[in-house]
Amino acid sequence: MKEFLNFLAGQDPYAALDGDDLERLAHAVEAEYFTAGTTVVAEGAEPLDHLWVVRTGAVEVVDRGRVVDLLGPGDTFGHVSLLSGLPPALAVRAAEDTLCYRLPDHRTLLAHPERLRFAFYGTDVRRDRLTGADGGFADRAHAPVSRYVRPVPRCAPDLPVREVAALISDSGQSCALVDYPDGVAGIVTDNDFRRRVGSGEVGVDEPVDRLVTRPVLTVNASTPVATAFLEMVEHGVHHLVAVDRTGRPLGVVRVVDLASAEVRDPLVVRAAVDSASDLAALGDACRLLPATAVELWDTGVPPERIGGLLAAVVDSALRRLLHLDAAVADPGVPTSWLVLGSLARREVLPSSDVDTAVVWDGGEEAADAVRSAASRVLDDLESCGLQRCADGANANTPTFSRPLARWRSDVAGIVKDPSAEGSLLLATMLADSRPVSEAALGREVLDAMVAPARSPQFLHALLEYTLAARPPTGFVRDFVVEHSGEHRGQLNLKRGGLRPVTSLGRWVGVVTGDVRGTTPERLRRGAADGLLTTDEAETLVGAYHQVYALLLAEEVEAIRAGRPASTYVAPGDLDSLTRRHLRESFRAIGHVQERLESEWQRRLG
Amino acid sequence: MLRRLTGRVPGGRPRAIPGWDSLDLPWREAELAVVDLELTGLDLKRDEIVSYGGVVVRGGRVVASTVVYGLVKPRIPVTAESIAIHALRPADLEDAPGLDACVEALAELLTGRVLVAHAAWVERAFIGRAFGEFGLRLDGPVVDTAALARELGLAPRGAETEPSLEGLASGIGLPLHTTHHAAGDALTTAGLFLALASRLDRAEPQTVRSLTNVSHRQSLGAQRRPFPF
């Protein structure tokens, strides 16, 4: 039964249930297996009296014969029919061999059914996402790369740069193939233009030959998508030229076409991570992340989606690593890994560290074994190109690895009396925590955090701590920038822009007892619960999106240039509209903080 | 209670559990009971059951609410080797009920249902012996997931050992329940059974009879091969 419990506890929306309701649900599971192609829900059948959760495998949602969505492990379906009492509008069939858990009507089973809030289908993007050539999950990773070949403009090497740029932009593509008399093709990408023409290194009237990369990396059109993907990782390129059997170029495949832009369905990267059979293969898959982030950015995927995609892949990489390391580093007690910070909120940037904590079910005597196993995992994580927390929030340290009983009592102590040094920092870190293994065990730490037994002193201190992260607005009209040191005249966007908003989101989470979700989701819940006005919440969400997008833009440029990313910007480098907008955002954050300060001090006082 | 269930008449014929009613049903329409036992060892002459777990498969689905699990106080000392596998120490079993409670629970679980187990000849032999002590007879179709795996080519045919339950389940991407725990292994076996029977359906829709036949044909039990834990 533990498997059912752990699985459900690790999935939205079931993660929102309390322990008793989770138990009820786990006991009511009925598991059914569907081989590929089998219908699970028929279109227009009797209204369902149950819903389904995918456990392993994948199912496709079919609308009048067209596949409109693909659902993987943890995804729920059938709830629309169950809740509406209407016949299912869309059919669901197994895209591969799939194990599903069937759950009865939660409204009669659970004590708090209202805690289950399901996502509904309906957006146009979702419905149009998987059409045409795209098939199921396994289908896509194993499909030949020829499916994704884009015909791109071709030109001669002596054509002026200016004309090639026009060719590329007229075609709506991001690169051109350059044909040479010797038959060995070259490639020129929009990145070459940005890097070398934009910098003045190559003039617009010079022949494109000066920009060309030649020979190009080619891939046979019949190569499976997954293999082509790894090829790109190995060589750190975003494009491959697809050739036919005779070596004749057919067009170009791009990283972004192989991965899906849909956050909850980043098929190929996740497939590469999930199928990694050793550390080397996992490292290859993980090293794909920065290039993928760049491509997603270039295609215009919304920044917060990119953050979610990166988080999903880091999650699965960590899970895969725990699985691979289980054989060599077994702590000997049930252990749950928690991710912390932006990764827990699914708001990561490509350069974000992986912050972790660990809880085990056992006594203090297991500490050494747990920590040495954790050290091994963190070392392996770094060999895959993901960095542990530079500030020490790591699962192998005594602060962040504790047996369950001690996490419980320590957290209970903090929420009663937060005066001990470091208490609030730890509390806020735990409020941003999410289990990635043994979810039921990991959740107990968080449950202790949001337990109703919190003292007014704790909430008071937490608000003070939250409001201490101020945006850089001063008495004068412009920004407060660093006055000395390396970043003189610059503005720390992460500390000054992002942190005040994420702190407010976290505060809302702790006060309402529901810390799930991203910062925008938390803030909007805060408005729904009356902690913030709708206007305030939307202002904060807007500010959050703006700052996050600026930070991500900087990271993308840093990846392209092969330099470390910076969280600093010089206000003078921003265009005036962005600068004004940013200043307005900071002001608005400041206003919300002031309002909370005066009002809540009174209420809590 | 046991007397009521078995209806044993002194000197009479032992009552057979379960029957053969469902033999020609498609397997999804039959009720099956997936059982796992933890034992002190594999010697049918002296070894004993220390715990049992089971779950019902109904309508082609593993029904979590039907899980049964219990410990049994063995009448012989538990060996260190077997403790290493099932992690049940003598102290854990001290206050456990006797074999009668186990027989009662399994008889109830198996009545009218088809027995499914991994390397089922072990469960069949030990349940059969335990039933016999209380005037019951285990007499019905038996489906063996290890045999189904061999039929599908997921485990080597003609090998002298049984394929491991965890290896098979994780090999085809199924979640593992608590391993070497009778209820956990019964749940894992149940999931494995669904996957294997569904895959056999692809070639030809399977009935209880066809699954039983495959189990018999591919069984190692007839030769009493050593069971590799």
Mutate which: B28, B56, B57, B63, vs A, most A CBs within 10 A: B63
Burial of B108 (0-12, 13-18, 19+ CB in 10 A): middle
Q: What is the mean pLDDT of residues B107-115?
A: 92
Question: How many CB contacts within 8 angstroms connect chain A with chain B?
Answer: 63
- pLDDT at position A562 is 81
Cα A337 to Cα A315: distance, rounded to the nearest angstrom:
11
Which residue, A240, A258, A276, sits at the end of a domain? Answer: A258
CA proximity to A264, closest of A25, A12, A41? A12
Q: Is A7 on the interface with B (CB under 8 A)?
A: yes
Tell me the residues of chain B between 7 and 46 that have a Cβ less than 8 Å away from chain A: none
Same domain for A202 and A59, yes or no, is no
Asked whether residue A351 is domain-assigned, the answer is yes
In Å, how far is B202's CA from the nearest CA of chain A?
A: 8
Which residue, A75, A104, A131, sits at the end of a domain? Answer: A131
In Å, how far is A522's CA from the nearest CA of chain B?
A: 32
Asked whether residue B226 is domain-assigned, the answer is no
Domain that holds residue A197: 145-258
* Closest partner CB to A30 (pick from B63, B173, B177): B63
Subunit contact B194:A57, Cβ cutoff 8 A: no
- pLDDT at position A603 is 64
Asked whether residue A137 is domain-assigned, the answer is no
Same domain for A245 and A207, yes or no, is yes
Higher pLDDT, A277 or B34: B34
Residue A91 pairs in a beta bridge with: A62
Cα A10 to Cα A340: distance, rounded to the nearest angstrom:
15
Subunit contact B174:A99, Cβ cutoff 8 A: yes
Structure tokens at B146: 């290890």
Asked whether residue B1 is domain-assigned, the answer is no
Q: Is B183 on the interface with A (CB under 8 A)?
A: yes
Amino acid identity at B108: E
Subunit contact B61:A30, Cβ cutoff 8 A: yes
- pLDDT at position A555 is 92
Which residue in chain A is spatially nearest to B68 when comparing CA positions?
A1
Asked whether residue A204 is domain-assigned, the answer is yes
Same domain for A56 and A158, yes or no, is no
CA proximity to A232, closest of A222, A246, A218, A220? A218
Q: Is A275 on the interface with B (CB under 8 A)?
A: no
Cα A212 to Cα A195: distance, rounded to the nearest angstrom:
13
CA proximity to A187, closest of A219, A169, A209, A162? A209
Asked whether residue B55 is domain-assigned, the answer is yes
DSSP run (H or E) holding A188:
strand A186-189
In Å, how far is A451's CA from the nearest CA of chain B?
A: 29
Contact A164, A152 (CB under 8 A): no
Interface pTM (ipTM) of the complex? 0.88
Q: What is the mean pLDDT of residues B99-111?
A: 94
Q: Is A35 on the interface with B (CB under 8 A)?
A: yes
Cα four-point dihedral sign A154, A157, A159, A165: positive
Same domain for A95 and A182, yes or no, is no
Q: What is the mean pLDDT of residues B104-110?
A: 94
Domain that holds residue B80: 18-221
* pLDDT tens digits along B187-227: 999 999 999 999 999 889 999 999 999 998 888 755 444 43
CB contacts of A3 in chain B (<8 Å) are: 175-178, 184, 187
Q: Is B65 on the interface with A (CB under 8 A)?
A: yes
Asked whether residue A139 is domain-assigned, the answer is no
Same domain for A435 and A473, yes or no, is no
Subunit contact A3:B178, Cβ cutoff 8 A: yes
Mutate which: A2, A3, A274, vs B, most B CBs within 10 A: A3
Tell me the residues of chain A between 54 and 73 that have a Cβ less than 8 Å away from chain B: 55-57
Which residue, A217, A238, A258, sits at the end of a domain? Answer: A258
Residue B118 CB: number of other CB atoms within 10 A?
28
Asked whether residue B200 is domain-assigned, the answer is yes
| One-character DSSP codes across A389-446 | PTTS--TTSGGGEEEHHHHHHHHHHHHH-TTSTTHHHHHHHHHTEEESSSHHHHHHHH
Same domain for A430 and A283, yes or no, is yes
DSSP run (H or E) holding A600:
helix A576-604
CA proximity to A119, closest of A16, A3, A267? A16
Which residue in chain A is spatially nearest to B197 when comparing CA positions?
A33
Asked whether residue B201 is domain-assigned, the answer is yes
Contact A253, A145 (CB under 8 A): yes
Mutate which: B27, B28, B148, B174, vs A, most A CBs within 10 A: B174
User: What are the average pLDDT values for consecutive 10-residue runs of chain A, which has 605 residues?
Assistant: 87 86 94 94 87 90 74 82 76 91 92 76 30 38 76 91 87 86 86 78 89 87 74 67 85 70 46 78 83 74 80 87 84 92 93 94 93 94 92 92 92 85 86 89 84 76 86 57 68 87 93 88 91 91 92 90 84 76 84 84 60
Same domain for A475 and A580, yes or no, is yes
Structural domain tally of chain B? Answer: 1
Residue A365 CB: number of other CB atoms within 10 A?
9
- pLDDT at position A456 is 79
Subunit contact B61:A32, Cβ cutoff 8 A: yes
In Å, how far is A418's CA from the nearest CA of chain B?
A: 39
Asked whether residue B102 is domain-assigned, the answer is yes
Subunit contact B174:A56, Cβ cutoff 8 A: yes
Which residue in chain A is spatially nearest to B192 when comparing CA positions?
A33
- pLDDT at position A448 is 81
Same domain for A10 and A63, yes or no, is yes
Which residue in chain A is spatially nearest to B187 when comparing CA positions?
A1
Asked whether residue B166 is domain-assigned, the answer is yes
Cα A498 to Cα A507: distance, rounded to the nearest angstrom:
14
- HEC profile for B155-171? CCCCCCCCCCHHHHHHH
For position A220, which CATH number holds? 3.10.580.10
* pLDDT tens digits along B4-33: 444 444 444 556 555 567 788 999 999 999
pLDDT above 90: residue B138: no
Asked whether residue B228 is domain-assigned, the answer is no
In Å, how far is B141's CA from the nearest CA of chain A?
A: 22
Prior bond of B175 cis (ω within 30°)? no
Asked whether residue A589 is domain-assigned, the answer is yes
Distance (Å) of CA A81 to CA A26, A49, A50, A90, A360: 22, 8, 9, 10, 40
Cα A416 to Cα A418: distance, rounded to the nearest angstrom:
6
* Closest partner CB to A3 (pick from B172, B187, B202): B187
Subunit contact B64:A7, Cβ cutoff 8 A: no
Q: Is A330 on the interface with B (CB under 8 A)?
A: no
Mutate which: A33, A39, A99, A277, vs B, most B CBs within 10 A: A33
For position A78, which CATH number holds? 2.60.120.10
Cα B185 to Cα B190: distance, rounded to the nearest angstrom:
8
For position B117, which CATH number holds? 3.30.420.10
Q: Are strands B136-138 and B15-17 parallel, antiparallel or unpaired?
A: parallel
A169: helix, strand or coil = helix
Q: CB neighbours of A300 closer than 8 A, spacing ≥ 6?
A: none
Q: Is A36 on the interface with B (CB under 8 A)?
A: no
Same domain for A171 and A108, yes or no, is no
| One-character DSSP codes across A255-276 | HHHHS-S-TT--HHHHHHHHT-
Subunit contact A2:B184, Cβ cutoff 8 A: yes
Q: Cα angle at A250 between A245 and A252, to 5 degrees?
A: 120
Subunit contact B174:A32, Cβ cutoff 8 A: no
pLDDT above 50: residue B103: yes
Burial of B1 (0-12, 13-18, 19+ CB in 10 A): exposed
In Å, how far is B57's CA from the nearest CA of chain A?
A: 9
Structural domain tally of chain A? Answer: 4
* Closest partner CB to B178 (pick from A2, A56, A99): A2
Q: Is B67 on the interface with A (CB under 8 A)?
A: yes
Q: Cα angle at A120 between A117 and A123, to 5 degrees?
A: 145
